[in-house]
A = this chain, B = another copy of it.
């Protein structure tokens, strides 16, 4: 059993912990948290050994009546691999600690690509993470783009991709964020960071990205244009994408018009927290004009990177090849809508 420690038990960390716990070849050796809030209590109830992410705060957990197994360094020492799911920038501060204990670490997409040996997407470059000490699982949006671009690149060749990312302003719990009743070019200057971030996975891909922020919390939505080297029919593209295990082609008959109904469908299907691990590509939107492919896809910012983190655990340890790992992760989680 692979001993996985999770440092940071917020939006991503708690989902990764649950996903790891479901894997037949992994166990959660512990989770680390900075504050004794509702998530800390839930972690203990789930039976995850809880560590204080900041050692000096250990007493605060005890005062709150929450049992703590120790400080985060003990967790790092006990783990075969640590998933760092701390807020952006904190991962970089933690790097020296992981190195001190010689524990391979997986970071999230908010960290800089320069921090790590490899930026990772299971579908696109799984094998590059073999034996790496520091791996960055790219952000939700970059994950969503990588999953889509990989089969297009392999099958037709990508001349150029142009993507407008209409981003949710914040997650449902991020009550301090905006915008309210506005549409913000964000950033106003081009490109948004997403294009260069996709290039950490596909170094030679020609891609321009534009970002916006709107008053929504449920999912991001991408307006995608990909100019292809070889021009297929829209039907052929739909067939290609339907064959990808982490792409969900939203069928026209479902009458799903946006993120609200997608989340409703996920909850009706019994998904934990209503999570949608797959890209949601509107089947009817897949269109080809000249050599331009167009489509809309929605990306669940809180969960699409979760199966990627699970795969990255196996990738760095050499515990399985890409196809084996993706299949094992998908089976254990129930990926596939």
Please list the residues of chain A having a beta carbon within 8 angstroms of any beta carbon in chain B: 160, 162, 164, 166, 168, 179, 181-186, 188-191, 206, 208, 210, 212, 214-221, 223, 225, 252, 257-260, 282, 284-285, 287, 289-290, 292, 294, 296, 298
- Which B residues lie within 8 Å of A186 (CB)? 257
Asked if A183 and B223 sit within 8 Å, CB to CB, the answer is: no
CA–CA, A283 and B185, complex, Å: 12
Contact yes or no, A215 B216, CB < 8 A: yes
Q: How far is the CA of A168 from the CA of B183 in the complex (A)?
A: 8
The 6 closest A-B pairs by CB, nearest first: A185-B296, A164-B223, A184-B258, A190-B287, A183-B221, A182-B258
Give the residue of B185, B189, B296 whose beta carbon is less than 8 angstroms from that of A221. B185
- Closest CB of chain B to A265's CB: distance in Å? 14
Question: Known: A223-B164, A282-B188, A296-B188. Is A183-B287 also a contact (CB below 8 A)?
Answer: no
- Are the C-beta atoms of A258 and B292 separated by less than 8 Å? no
Q: Kindly list chain B residues whose C-beta atoms are within 8 Å of the C-beta of A162.
A: 162, 225, 292
Measured between C-beta atoms, what is the minimum distance from A106 to chain B in Å? 29
Residues of B within 8 A of A191 (CB): 287, 289
Contacts of A208 in B (CB 8 A): 225, 289, 292, 294
> Across the interface, do B221 and A285 meet the contact criterion of CB distance under 8 Å?
no
